[in-house]
Amino acid sequence: MEKGWLNQYLASGLSYIQVELPETIPAKKSAACGIDVGLNRLATLSTGEGYENQAFLKTALKQLRQANKRLHRRTRGSKNREKARRQVARLHYRITCLRDDVLHKLTSQLANAYGIIGIEDLNLKGLLKNRRLARSFSDAALGKLLQLLTSKGESQGARIVKVGRFFPSSKTCHGCGWKWEEMQLSDRLFLCQNATCAYHHVAQDRDLNASLNILNETLRLINTLDQAVGGTGSDAT
C-alpha cells in the first residue's frame, strides 16, 4: 500500500512521493539518473520523482525549546535537572533516528535501482556558513545523503559521477543549454527564453530541470572518461 501522496506539478510531470514508497522506483540497474538535492525538496530525480524534505528538526523545534527552557530552570546537580537533560537528549536522538531512517531508505532505493547516478559536488562547508540557512542545511543532512548514496551505490556496482560544483544546473535549460543568468533562489520555475527551444516559455520545475542537466552532464563526463581512459577517472567510479 502506498502511504504517501502523489501530485502532478504543472507541465513538468514532477511527482512528489514520500520515502515510504519503495515500489515507486523500478529496478533498472542499467538505467542512469541525475539527482538534484536541496532544502525545499530533499531529492529530485531526472526520472520525475521528488522526495520531500521532512525537516524533523524544524518540526520538533518547539518541543526542543520548551525542553531546553525546563533544563535551564532546574537547579544544577539536582535530580530534576538530570531528568530534564535526558529529555532533551531523547528528543535529539529521536530526530537523528527519524532522519537517518529516511536517508537510509531513500539511498538504498536509489542504489538498488540505477547503474549510473549523477550528483552534484556540493560545497557543504560553504553552505553551512550561511547563517540564515545553516540550520535548514543541517536539518536536511545533505552531506550524509550524498555520502550514503555514494557508498551504497558503489557497493551495488553503480557508477557514481560528481558533476563540478560550479556547473550551472539550475540556471541552464536542459533542452537547449540557454542560461538564465539572473535567476534567483526564489525563482521556483525555469522559463527558457530561447525561441528555437522546444521548452521556450514552458514552465519547468526548477529542481527537475536541474536534475535533467545533472543527468546530461553525467553522461557527457562518462563518455569523455570512457574515451580517454577506458572508463576510469576521478569523477566516476
**Catalytic residue positions, numbered:** 36, 120, 207
Which residues, 6+ apart, have CB-to-CB distance to 6 below 8 Å? 15, 16, 17
**Which residues lie below 8 Å from residue 178, measured CB to CB, with a gap of 6+?**
172, 192, 193, 194, 197
Distance from the first to the final alpha carbon of the chain: 35
User: 556540493: which residue's cell?
Assistant: 122
Alpha carbons 127 and 140: distance in angstroms, whole number? 12
215's torsion region: left (phi>0), alpha (psi -120 to 50) or beta?
alpha
Beta carbons of 106 and 19 less than 8 angstroms apart? yes
DSSP-assigned letters across all residues of 9-41: ETTTTEEE--TT-GGGS--EEEEEEEEEE-SSE
How would you label 9-25 residue by residue, b for 16+ Cβ within 10 Å and e otherwise? beebebbbbbbebeebb
Backbone angles phi, psi at 172, to 5 degrees: -115, 135
